[in-house]
Structure 1
Amino acid sequence: MATWRSPFLRRTLLLSPPPPPFLQFSPFSTPILHSQFKRSFVQCSSLSMEESTSSTPIQPEIPETGRNSRWKPMCLYYTQGKCTKMDDALHLEKFCHSCSVELGESVSGLKNLQKQEFDYFLVLDLEGKVEILEFPVLLFDVKTMDVVDAFHRFVRPTKMSEKRINEYIEGKYGSFGVDRVWHDTAINFEEVIEQFEIWLRKECDGHIKLWREGGDGRLNGAAFVTCGNWDLKTKVPQQCEVSGIKLPPYFMEWINLKDIFLNFYNRRAPGMLSMMRELGIPPLGSHHLGIDDSKNIARVLRHLLTDGALLQITARRAQASPDRVRFLLQNRIK
């Protein structure tokens, strides 16, 4: 157990019998239309309040089947490590069970690429205002400019009644049709962090581990990338306090993509969708479904890198006083 984690009694996770795998229209999968799926699967159904008050749905870019024949709908049970049909050939043929994502064409030969300080970026986009409900992290490889792995967990609140949880999840995920898979797979935050640390300790490229517990406990050759400061400045510390654990040291610094965008393009974009509009990138998937938003953020990240942007840490906590955050770029989104 990591030294910064407060003592706690391990709770046994009770799992209900696994239901049939859930079908998600991933932003990087070819949608299959069927009457049982809600319209929100094939559109970004709402804009964030910071960007627009319009209720007009955003239609996603639908990949051409012939050109993208390898793309399949994602099995969300698989992203939770709980798919029960891995030996079903028909299921495997129809649905994606890979955490790797090709974001675009080859980047070999591009002249604008900058040498980056980091080998990997961890694209994080949390969901849940009261408590964290979804914890998705995409591993972006700077060499290949693609997502090569992912960690995705739904998170069960610790300070709510079952009635309040049901209302919360129906309001948050009901319109996406994701409420069932959330109830079947969600685990408490302390378990999510334990599993995330196991994932961070996996070897990348056969030898690089993204994180080691020794030393200062920070990431190794990698940095978190977020769309804004809220995820790591505010929400993770709040959730750690609610869950009775100390803030892990790898959450001490991050890159706010909105600040990088502002300083590189000299254009102000208050959120993910506005950055995508500025860059002419059609949004894909369901907005405010964390795993989908993370993939869209990764597409913005890739665009910045291929245009020649240098990604550097934009916010860092004070070592002696983690509550204090220093913002490193003078020109930044407030």
Structure 2
Amino acid sequence: MKTEEILVVDIEATCWEGRNPPGQENDIIEVGVCLLDVGTGAISANRGILVMPERSQISKFCTQLTSITPGLIEDEGIYFDDACDILEQEYDARNLVWASYGDYDRNQFQRQCSEMRVAYPFGPKHINVKTMFQQKRRMKRGVGMAGALEILNLPLEGTHHRGVDDAKNIAKILHWVLNN
């Protein structure tokens, strides 16, 4: 029997305190991914893909929020189109249902792919885990990922605002939503 998997994605992007400085566009700088086995809750293939910003620079504020430094990106970062290729080739992103916490990740991917003329790596089936959690808990307003984990009495593992860790934490929330 084939197990059903969902690709869970969390991105980090260049950011600033307040508005973007002139000439700076938000660029994805990390794509956190993992595969969630819907039945068992097992999380596999957890990875953070570091991406070089091509239209902006990493601000001190961004580093404080994400812990991602310009030096880390210089050492380990790849181009955005190469990151999209990894999602397609190694994670079968076009054929799997994929999930993120809220719509920011989906919208940022669509916008950046369009603006940079890169093929969108995902298929059409997307799950907004934040909305599903809000509906399942019958909440008037959505809560952030850390808040959802707290409500569920689940530990926040790793570093908050690191895609590699947040993808895994989102997968735990998604598993709860799908199985309760």
Mark yes or no: TM-score above 0.5: yes
**Among residues 205, 229, 232, which one is paired with 2:103 in the alignment?**
229
Q: Does 1:281 align with 2:154?
A: yes
Gaps of 5+ in 2: 15-25
Decide which structure has the larger Cα Rg and report it: 1
1: CA distance, partners of 2:8 / 2:175? 11
Map of 2:90 onto structure 1: 199
Map of 2:63 onto structure 1: 173
**Among residues 178, 184, 189, which one is paired with 2:80 in the alignment?**
189
1:169 Cα deviation (Å)? 5.2
Question: Do 1:138 and 1:147's aligned partners in 2 also have CA atoms closer than 8 Å?
Answer: yes
2: CA distance, partners of 1:273 / 1:174? 17
> Residue type of the partner of 2:102?
G
**Among residues 117, 128, 133, which one is paired with 1:261 in the alignment?**
133
Distance 1:169 1:295, change over 3 A: farther
1: CA distance, partners of 2:160 / 2:67? 13
1:269 Cα deviation (Å)? 2.8
Pairing of 1:84-123 with structure 2 (within 5 A):
119-123=4-8
RMSD: 2.3
**1:110-134 Cα shifts (integer Å, max 9, x gaps):** xxxxxxxx81111111111511110
Map of 2:170 onto structure 1: 297
> Residue type of the partner of 1:185?
E
1: CA distance, partners of 2:65 / 2:110? 29
Residue 139 of structure 1 aligns to a residue whose secondary structure is: strand
2: CA distance, partners of 1:198 / 1:231? 20
1: CA distance, partners of 2:118 / 2:62? 26
1: CA distance, partners of 2:118 / 2:59? 24
**Among residues 32, 37, 42, which one is paired with 1:136 in the alignment?**
32
TM-score, normalised with respect to structure 1: 0.45
**Among residues 98, 106, 113, which one is paired with 1:240 in the alignment?**
113
119-128 vs 234-243, which moves further: 234-243
More strand by share: 2
Distance 1:197 1:258, change over 3 A: same
Tell me which stretches of 4 or more aligned residues in structure 1 moved more than 3 Å. 174-178
Identity of aligned residues (%): 27
1: CA distance, partners of 2:171 / 2:129? 10
2: CA distance, partners of 1:270 / 1:148? 26
2: CA distance, partners of 1:196 / 1:246? 11
Distance 1:281 1:263, change over 3 A: same
Residue 157 of structure 1 aligns to a residue whose secondary structure is: coil
1: CA distance, partners of 2:136 / 2:115? 37
Distance 1:225 1:177, change over 3 A: closer
Total equivalences in the alignment: 165
2: CA distance, partners of 1:223 / 1:184? 32
Residue 150 of structure 2 aligns to a residue whose secondary structure is: helix
> Residue type of the partner of 1:124?
V
Residue 125 of structure 1 aligns to a residue whose secondary structure is: strand
> Residue type of the partner of 1:230?
Y
Pairing of 1:50-69 with structure 2 (within 5 A):
none
